[in-house]
Amino acid sequence: MSTTRLLLLGVVRIFQPAYGYQLRRELLTWNVQDWANINPGSIYTGLRTLAKHGFLEELEDGSGQKAGRTSYKLTADGESEYFSLLRQALWTVDGFQPGLMQASLSFLWTLKRDEVVAALESRIVQLEQNEKAAPFHERQVEQDPGTPNHVVEMFRISVARDRGELEWTRCFRDRVLAGEYSFAGEPPDWTPGPEAAERWRNLREPPG
């Protein structure tokens, strides 16, 4: 799955119709070049490729000629592809592509709260399963005579990342359950009321 494709479709969807330079500038404020391995110069190429495949529409001026600055908006196929990629990134744990979750966080507000909670709970289960399996995978690496000894540390750093993500995902799930942030179908300026604060306290404090 392409983190770049999700980011490009998502940012076009926010600002459409939008010019390539505007989209590039916005993505660079998200520091995508650091965590998504996106070369700033490749953003224009990515937009043209998405248009070629029918996910974006290149807008023309009134004369029927392409405008001097090409602007973009999502097509119906682009809208479907955006939500497909977003859900795939959110529901699937991939320790070797942490940028996918980073990208999905940028667009979670386009999904409904109940779906976000369900996806986070699914991620928790996947991460817990990975943690249970980790000692056996590590033993396999250590016992493989053809694998250099230090390679096991590559596995251990991946396990450490998963543990950190598991802790964060549990806390984030609880915050979303408690009413923090706004999601699709909720007012953009929505803020949790007293009842949400009470739910948060109940989640944080063990019974009894």
Q: For the chain, give every domain's residue range.
A: 3-105, 111-204
Domain 3-105 matching CATH 3.40.50.970: the answer reads: no
Residue bearing the bigger pLDDT, 197 or 165: 165
Which tokens sit at 115? 């779906």
Q: Would you state the pLDDT for residue 112? A: 93
Do 108 and 87 contact (CB within 8 A), yes or no? no
Q: Would you state the pLDDT for residue 115? A: 93
pTM, two decimal places: 0.80
Please determine, for residue 173, whether its predicted confidence score (pLDDT) is greater than 80: yes
The one-letter amino acid code at 205 reads E
Q: Which helix (H) or strand (E) holds 72?
A: strand 66-74
pLDDT in tens, 79-88: 999 999 999 9
Give strand pairing partners of 71.
Answer: 19, 59
Say which residue the tokens 């490749």 belong to: 42
Q: How far apart are CA 157 and CA 151, in angstroms?
A: 10
> Which strands, in side-by-side order, build the sheet including 56-60?
18-19, 66-74, 56-60
The three-state DSSP-derived secondary structure of the chain is CCHHHHHHHHHHHHHCCEEHHHHHHHHHHCCHHHHCCCCCCHHHHHHHHHHHCCCEEEEECCCCCEEEEEEEEECHHHHHHHHHHHHHHHHCCCCCCCHHHHHHHCCHHHCCHHHHHHHHHHHHHHHHHHHHHHHHHHHHHHHCCCCCHHHHHHHHHHHHHHHHHHHHHHHHHHHHHCCCCCCCCCCCCCCCCHHHHHHHHHHHCCCC
Q: Would you state the pLDDT for residue 178? A: 87
148: DSSP letter: -
Write 34-39 long-range contacts (CB < 8 A, 24+). 35/98, 35/99, 35/102, 36/3, 36/4, 36/7, 36/99, 36/102, 36/103, 37/3, 37/99, 38/3, 38/4, 38/7
Please determine, for residue 208, whether its predicted confidence score (pLDDT) is greater than 60: no
Q: Would you state the pLDDT for residue 63? A: 45
% the chain with pLDDT above 90: 34
pLDDT in tens, 83-109: 999 999 999 888 777 778 888 998 999
